[in-house]
Amino acid sequence: MARVGLREWLAIAPVIASGRLSRYGGGQDGPLARFEADFCAAFDVRNTLTVCNGTAALIAALVASGIGPSDEVLVPAYTWIATAGAVLAAGAVPVLVDIDETLTIDPFDIERKITPQTRAIIPVHMANMVCDMDSIMRIAREHGLIVVEDACQAVGATYKGRRVGTIGDVGAFSFNQFKNISIGEGGAIVTNDDHLFARARMYHDIGSVFRGHLDNANEPPFCGVNLKASQIQGAMLNVQLSKLDPMIDRMRRRYDAVATILSSTADLRVGPHNDRSNAIGLHVIFDTEKEAQAFAAENPRGVHRVHDSSRHVYSFWKPILEQRAAHPRMSPFAWAARPMDYSPNACARSLDILRRTCRISLGENYPLPVMKFLARRMGRHRNAPVHAYVTTPDYGT
């Protein structure tokens, strides 16, 4: 995850001194406007909208895309609960899709889960592991589906030369404490579609109808909510953006070094990745659950069995599994065209993979020799040869 320090502290001081802290208080030269312009340039995207957090980015992206009641949205079985929760917040229902051994949504299961009510796919670039976007975009175009990329846990990662989050129709990012860009809480929406951008901007600012300086791309105004970011967040984001690519480069070097050591000393086989040359994370998949548990226990620093992070596994999403809403008459499940299957067997393959998988931190903020030493120690702790696949870590919650 990204570090926050003196540079961020110095960046917010003049903003506080100015007294212009609100979203529109800084004008076109304010910190937020500068960040959005620089993010567009760095990510080669037409429009960026900063919001208060990553969940807000997902909700606004779905609303901007016209997702609503009776729609079905495909989401992976392994992701932070906000991915599915955002679908419900937009009035639609999430449909669970299996992951494959890359820990990302399985394109084959996407095709199996499409129904006449399916309107969108949310591929989640989970734990800095990128999705198979070529297959996903092909499926989406064949079926007329919207692609909302959840890049909250992979800010700055690339897929075949393009930043994740910029490949689909609209993308969402998170800048919370555990992400590659970190300001405590924050998020952003990106899109090359001016109409989607105008709708997202209207939704994120309930007062947008009174702001004559906004270009709404001929979209009729509607009443939104308040998901705005502040100029203080913008000031911190400008500093963090300048740190992003150097950190991504460090992660890439550590992936190659640590994966090579584990492969040669612990009989762990480097496995599937949707863009191996740009991998920025690591995980190992064992033959059995017990082997994964033992490996995590032997290496308590930097190794975590994925299934133990229960909040990221669909079988622990109690309010969604029980299909409860804040008010029963506002429940999207009441409007769904069919009953939803959230049983333990809905994505049994995903649960099996997650139980046999361990994440390995790349320690991007530590010297490379330290990470090589830790990797060699992991190899020494491995008592018996067990074939595994090596892929990517989880840097967020």
Q: In this predicted model, what pLDDT tens digit does every residue of 204-213 receive, in sequence order? A: 999 988 887 7
Domain region containing 168: 6-240
- Whether 233 is in a domain gets the answer yes
Q: Specify whether 318 is catalytic.
A: no
pLDDT for 10 beyond 90: yes
What count of other Cβ atoms lies within 10 Å of the Cβ of residue 29? 7
**How many domains, in total, are found in the chain?**
1
Q: Write the DSSP string, 181-212.
A: S-SSS-EEEEES-HHHHHHHHHHHBTTGGG-T
Q: What is the mean pLDDT of the chain?
A: 91
- Whether 131 is in a domain gets the answer yes
Q: How much is the average pLDDT of 248-253?
A: 95
- Whether 382 is in a domain gets the answer no
pLDDT in tens, 313-335: 999 999 999 999 999 999 999 99
- Candidates 113, 179, 228, 243; catalytic one: 179
Buried/exposed 295-313: b ≥16 CB within 10 Å, e otherwise: bbeebeebbbbbbebeebb
pLDDT for 247 beyond 60: yes
pLDDT in tens, 130-154: 999 999 999 999 999 999 999 999 9
- Whether 260 is in a domain gets the answer no
Q: How much is the average pLDDT of 212-226?
A: 87
HSE at residue 93, side-chain half, CA atoms within 13 A, is: 27
Q: How much is the average pLDDT of 96-103?
A: 97
Name the pTM for this structure.
0.93
- Whether 130 is in a domain gets the answer yes
pLDDT for 129 beyond 50: yes
pLDDT in tens, 375-389: 888 876 554 444 443
- Whether 294 is in a domain gets the answer no
pLDDT for position 396: 38
Alpha-carbon gap, residue 9 to 169, rounded angstroms: 35
For residue 205, give the CATH number of its domain: 3.40.640.10
| Residues linked to residue 146 through DSSP beta bridges, in sequence order | 120
What confidence tier does 271 reach under pLDDT thresholds 50, 70, 90? Answer: low
- Whether 73 is in a domain gets the answer yes
- Whether 27 is in a domain gets the answer yes
